[in-house]
Amino acid sequence: MYIKVKVVPCAKKESLEKVSEDTFAIKVKEPAERNLANKRVVEIIAGEFAVRAGKVRIVSGYRSRSKILAVEID
């Protein structure tokens, strides 16, 4: 399953908002450096879909705020 994510790094509070069926808006506390924000986004999406973090990967937008993630659901 592919989902679209709009990320806001360095936020004061973490949040996850479901915009539509396959689109999410995520705010993370981590900065957008040394892959910290990307790792946190993967953890949050894995928690939302109740899968391991290894089952979620960034397909597109690795250095962008708009990302496409692939989630392997068993």
Q: Each residue of 49-69: pLDDT tens digit? A: 999 999 999 999 999 999 999
Can you give the pTM of this predicted structure? 0.92
In angstroms, the Cα distances linking 59 to 3, 10, 13, 25, 56 are 10, 22, 26, 17, 9
CATH number of the domain residue 28 falls in? 3.30.1200.10
The boundaries of the domain holding residue 26 are 2-71
For 25-42, what is the mean pLDDT? 95
Cβ distance 51 to 73 under 8 Å? yes
- The residue assigned the tokens 């989902």 is 3
Domain count for the chain: 1
For 3-8, what is the mean pLDDT? 96
Using a pLDDT cut of 90, give the percent of the chain over it.
97
